[in-house]
Amino acid sequence: MATITHFEIHDVRFPTSLTGDGTDAMNTDCDYSSAYISLYTSSDLVGHGMTFTIGRGNDIVCEAIRQVASRLVGKSAEELFADMGKAWELLVADPQLRWIGPEKGVIHIATGAVDNALWDMYARARNKPLWKLVVDMSPEELVRSAAWRYISDAITKEEALAMLKKNEAGKKEREAHVREVGYPAYVTSAGWLGYSDEKVARLTKEAVQAGFNHFKMKVGASLENDLRRGKIIRSIIDDPQYLPEGSKARDPNGPELRGKNAGPTGAVLMIDANQVWDVQQAIDYVRGLEEIKPWFIEEPTAPDDILGHAAIRRALKPHGIGVATGEHAHNRMVFKQLLQAEAIDVCQIDSCRLAGVSEVLSVLFMAAKFGVPVCPHAGGVGLCEYVIHLSLIDYIAVSGSMERNVLEFVDHLHEHFLFPCSINARGRYNVPANPAEGYSIEMRKESIAEFGFPHGSYWVKAKGGKQ
Catalytic residues: 218, 377
How far is residue 20 from each of residues 32, 116, 346, 412, measured CA to CA in Å? 11, 29, 27, 12
In this structure, what DSSP letter does residue 397 have? Answer: I
Q: How far apart are CA 57 and CA 74, in angstroms?
A: 29
DSSP secondary structure letters along 343-386: --SEE---TTTSSSHHHHHHHHHHHHHHT--B-----STTHHHH
Q: Are strands 183-187 and 428-429 parallel, antiparallel or unpaired?
A: antiparallel
Compute how many other C-beta atoms are within 10 angstroms of the C-beta atom of residue 57. 12
Q: How far apart are CA 351 and CA 119, in angstroms?
A: 12
Residues 6+ away with beta carbon under 8 Å from 454:
460, 465, 466, 467
Quick check: helix, strand or coil at residue 222? coil
- The strands making up 46-53's β-sheet, listed across from edge to edge, are 4-13, 33-41, 46-53
Q: How far apart are CA 254 and CA 335, in angstroms?
A: 29
Q: How far apart are CA 173 and CA 118, in angstroms?
A: 29
Q: How far apart are CA 390 and CA 340, in angstroms?
A: 22
| Alpha-carbon dihedral angle through residues 275, 276, 279, 283, given to the nearest 10 degrees | -100
- Tell me how far the alpha carbon of residue 18 is from its chain's centroid: 24
Taking each helix axis from N to C end, the angle separating 357-370 and 105-125, rounded to the nearest 10 degrees, works out to 100
How far is residue 168 from each of residues 48, 347, 361, 396, measured CA to CA in Å? 30, 23, 16, 9
Q: Are strands 268-272 and 214-218 parallel, antiparallel or unpaired?
A: parallel
Quick check: helix, strand or coil at residue 435? coil
Buried b (16+ CB within 10 A) or exposed e, 179-201: eeebbbbbbbbbbbbbbeeeebb
Q: How far apart are CA 118 and CA 38, in angstroms?
A: 9
Q: How far apart are CA 108 and CA 97, in angstroms?
A: 10
Residues 6+ away with beta carbon under 8 Å from 446:
none
Please list the residues that pair with 318 across neighbouring strands.
Answer: none
